[in-house]
Chains A and B, each alone.
Chain A
C-alpha cells in the first residue's frame, strides 16, 4: 500500500526564519514525489517534484525539497520565510515500476500541513 505522512498539522515560523515542512512516504515501487500549496479558497498549485537524479529539488517561490531514500523522506524547505508563504502544503507520491494497474498514475496525498508565517 502506498501512503504519505505529514507528521505536523501546523508549522509556525517567524518571517525571515528558515522553514521546514516534513513529509515521509511508503511505496512499493519507485516514488515520484510532489509538493503542492493551497491558498485559501483556491485549488492546489504545483510547487516542485522529485523524479530522479539530484536529491535536492528546487521549485517555485524559492522553495526546495530534499529527497532522502534511506529515510523515505521528502521535506520541503525555504531559507527565509515570507508572510505570503502562509498556506496549506500537501506532499504527494505517485508510483511506477512494481506497482501498476489501477494505482498507476494516481497521487497519494498526505493530510496537509498548515504553515503560518508571523510578521
Chain B
C-alpha cells in the first residue's frame, strides 16, 4: 500500500496568496483527518471527515481555512489568504472506522511543510 500521500511536501508562499494542500488517503479508508503541527501548539486537529462528510471542523482556525473531500480518494485543505502565522506542518491522516469502533490505526502522511513569508 502506498500510504497516505500528501502534496506538496514543501511550499513557500507570500502572505496573501492562496495555498492548497492535497491528500490522497489509503484506499478503503473512510475517515480522513487534517492536523497542523507547530512548536507552540503541538498537534492540532483541524477537521475530520467520515465517509466524505465533515464531522468535526471545530479546529479550523478561522474562515480563511476551508477543507473539502469531494470523493473517498481525495481531500484538499485551502488557506485563503495565507498569513505568516499559518506557517506549520500540515498532516493528513486516514483510518477505517466501522460500526463506531475506533480500534483501527490512524495512518499519517509525510506532511506538507508550509512557510508563509
Contacts and interface: CB of A to CB of B under 8 A. Distances in A.
A74 interface: no
Interface residues of B, number: 27
Interface string B79-115: 0000000000001010101001111011111110100
Contacts of B4: 43
Nearest to B97: A105
A88 B31 CA distance: 25
B110 A32 contact: no
Contact of B95 (A45, A51, A102, A105): A105
A106 B42 contact: no
B91 A96 contact: no
Interface in B38-85: 42-43, 45, 48, 50, 55-56, 58
B50 A105 contact: yes
A22 interface: no
A90 B4 CA distance: 19
Contacts of B107: 46
A34 B103 CA distance: 10
Given A105-B95, A106-B56, A32 B43 contact: no
Interface residues of A, number: 26
A46 B91 contact: no
Interface string B1-32: 00010000000000000000000000000010
Interface in A1-38: 32, 34, 36
Given A44-B91, A109-B42, A96 B105 contact: no
Given A43-B91, A105-B55, A107-B45, 19 more contacts: A32-B103, A41-B113, A43-B108, A45-B108, A46-B107, A90-B43, A95-B102, A96-B101, A96-B103, A102-B55, A102-B58, A104-B97, A104-B100, A105-B31, A105-B97, A105-B102, A106-B45, A107-B33, A112-B43
7 contacts: A34-B105, A43-B108, A45-B108, A51-B103, A104-B97, A109-B42, A109-B43
